Amino acid sequence: MAPGPRAFDDIRPPEPDLIDDCVHCGFCLPTCPTYLLWGREMDSPRGRIVLMKSGHDDPGPISAAQVDAWDNCLGCMACVTACPSGVQYDKLIEDTRGQVERSEARTRRERLRRRAIFALFTHPGRLRALVPLVALQRRLGPERLLGGRLPRLQAMMRLAPAAGMRAAVRRLPEVTAARGTRRGTAGFLQGCVQRVFFGDVNRATVAVLAAEGWEVHAPRLPRCCGALQLHTGDGGEARELARRTIEAFKRFDVVVVNAAGCGSALKDYGHLFRDDPRWRPRAEAFSARVRDVSELLAEHEPAAVRHPLPLSVAYHDACHLAHAQGVRAQPRALLRGIPSLELREPAEWEICCGSAGVYNLLKPEPAAELGRRKVANLVATGTDLVAAANPGCALQIAAHAAELGHELRVLHPMELLHASIEGRMP
Ligand code: SF4
Ligand code: SF4
Residue nearest to atom 6 of ligand 2 (CA): 22
388: β partners:
316
Average pLDDT over residues 134-145: 60
pLDDT reading at 342 higher than 70: yes
pLDDT over 90, % of the chain: 65
Average pLDDT over residues 244-265: 96
pLDDT over 70, % of the chain: 87
Residue from 34, 46, 73, 90 to probe ligand 2 pocket by mutation (most atoms less than 8 Å from CB)? 46
Residue nearest to atom 4 of ligand 2 (CA): 28
Taking the CA of residue 24 as reference, the ligand 2 atom at the shortest distance is 5
Average pLDDT over residues 127-133: 70
Average pLDDT over residues 334-346: 98
DSSP tally for the chain: helices H, then strands E:
25, 9
- pLDDT tens for 1-53 read 333 333 333 345 677 889 999 999 999 999 999 999 999 999 999 999 999 99
User: Is 288 within 8 Å of 249 (Cβ atoms)?
Assistant: no
Which domains are delineated in the chain? Answer: 8-102 (1.10.1060.10), 110-167 (no CATH), 171-298 (3.40.50), 312-422 (3.40.50)
End-to-end CA distance of the chain: 62
User: Is 335 within 8 Å of 343 (Cβ atoms)?
Assistant: yes
Average pLDDT, the chain: 88
**Cα 292-294-298 angle, rounded to 5 deg:** 120
* Beta strand 214-217 pairing with 175-176: antiparallel
> What are the CA-CA distances from residue 314 to residues 125, 205, 212, 381 (Å)?
33, 20, 25, 7
Residue nearest to atom 8 of ligand 2 (CA): 25
Residue nearest to atom 8 of ligand 1 (CA): 32
The model's confidence at residue 163, banded by pLDDT at 50, 70 and 90, is: low
Q: What pLDDT is attached to residue 157?
A: 56
Give the integer Cα–Cα distance in Å for 184 and 60.
Answer: 54
Residues near ligand 1 (Cβ within 6 A)? 31-34, 45, 48, 73-79, 89
- pLDDT tens for 53-110 read 998 888 778 999 999 999 999 999 999 999 999 999 999 999 899 889 888 888 888 8
Q: Is 386 strand, coil or helix?
A: strand
Using alpha carbons, select from 16, 45, 26, 117 the residue that is nearest to residue 323. 45
Percent of the chain as helix, strand, coil, to the nearest 5: 55, 10, 40
pTM to 2 decimal places: 0.89
Rounded to the nearest angstrom, the distance between the alpha carbon of 114 and the centre of ligand 2 is 30
Q: Cβ(48) to ligand 2 under 6 A? A: no
Q: What pLDDT is attached to residue 60?
A: 79
Residue nearest to atom 7 of ligand 2 (CA): 22
